[in-house]
Amino acid sequence: MDTRVKGTLTEGLHQLARENVDPADLLDPDEVKLRSENGPWVMPDCENCTDRCCVHKDVGSGILLSLQDVAALVDSGLGDKIVGRFTFKRSRKGKLLAEIDQMPRLAKRQGNCVFYDAESGLCGGYGTRPTICRRFPFEVDYRKKSKKPFARFIPWTACTKKQGRENEPAIRQMARDAVVDENVSLEDAMLLPDHHEELRRIGFERFLPPPEECP
Ligand code: SF4
Ligand code: SF4
């Protein structure tokens, strides 16, 4: 469950989404099937993990932030931990497209996520951690032909794993969280290209490209 602080920016974003996003265009967590690509009832074993996902070995990596993540961090007084902004893709001919290119990220400290406490190996901002951290290492993907969505434990992660039927409730919860996360991304894809002016007005100015670089 998302227990992050809900202040002015979060409320403004929810209002904008209520007015402009049709719930029928979002995924129903009860309808998205779970696919067990790592084997039955396999889940991440974070307590015994030796390769924590908060340690960023790749310099280009970083935790991408949705509009909701940005709003929650700003509402919690942690806006200074956000770097970068949303940008839009351009066609080969230079025309701005209604597709998100770059996203804001959490800042880094000594190469790792700014919230990562290297001594304890824990997240120092657990209550305000972004959506992607809440659902990782689960995600929603789409079948190639039918485009039907499914949830899965991402097969290529470096996670330490554990297996057992007793993991079922936790796995089902992570799969649901992945669907909620996918809906956050779908909502961003609907709001950012068409409603950047309203987003600017409610307080997202710093995280958007200038008007001339919006579609
Ligand atoms: S890499 Fe996987 S197992 Fe390790 S801390 Fe992250 S989610 Fe948990
Ligand atoms: S916010 Fe917390 S859980 Fe997410 S990468 Fe940073 S330290 Fe890890």
- Asked whether 138 lines ligand 2 (CB < 6 A), one says no
Ligand nearest 112 Cα, by number? 2
Q: Give the number of other CB atoms < 10 A from CB of residue 46.
A: 14
Cβ of residue 116 lying under 6 Å from some atom of ligand 2: yes
Q: What is the mean pLDDT of the chain?
A: 92
Compute the distance between CA of residue 108 and CA of residue 83 in angstroms, rounded to an integer: 9
CA angle 164, 167, 168 (to 5 degrees): 110
Tell how strand 116-117 and strand 122-123 pair up: antiparallel
List, for residues 6-58, the tens digit of each pLDDT value.
789 999 999 999 999 999 999 999 999 999 888 899 999 998 987 778 887 66
pLDDT above 70 covers a percentage of the chain that reads 97
Q: How far is the CA of 55 from the centre of ligand 2 (A)?
A: 9
Strands 108-109 and 112-113: antiparallel
CA distance between the termini of the chain: 34
Q: Which atom of ligand 1 is nearest to the CA of 160?
A: 3
Q: What is the pLDDT of residue 120?
A: 85
Of 2-6, 84-88, 95-99, 119-123, which gets the smallest average pLDDT?
A: 2-6
Closest listed ligand to the CA of 56: 2
CA of 46 to the centre of ligand 1 (A): 5
199 lines ligand 2 (CB under 6 A): no
Residues 6+ apart with CB under 8 A from 111: 55, 56, 57, 59
Q: Which residue CA neighbors atom 2 of ligand 2 most closely?
A: 123
CA of 122 to the centre of ligand 1 (A): 11
Q: Please, which residues have CB within 8 angstroms of residue 182's CB and are 6 or more apart in sequence? A: 27, 139, 140, 149
Answer for the pair 114, 81: CB distance below 8 angstroms, yes or no.
Answer: yes
Query: Which pLDDT tens digit goes with each residue over 125-166?
Result: 888 889 888 889 999 999 999 999 999 999 988 899 999 999
- Put simply, whether the predicted model's pTM sits higher than 0.85 gets the answer yes
Decide if pLDDT at 63 tops 80.
yes
Any atom of ligand 2 within 6 Å of the Cβ of 72: no
DSSP string computed for 123-179: ETTGGG--HHHHHTTEEEEE-TTT--EEEEE-TT----EEE-GGGHHHHHHHHHHHH
Is the CB–ligand 2 distance for residue 13 below 6 Å?
Answer: no
Q: Ligand 2 test: best mutation among 56, 110, 116, most atoms within 8 Å of CB? A: 116
- How confident is the model at residue 119, as a pLDDT? 87
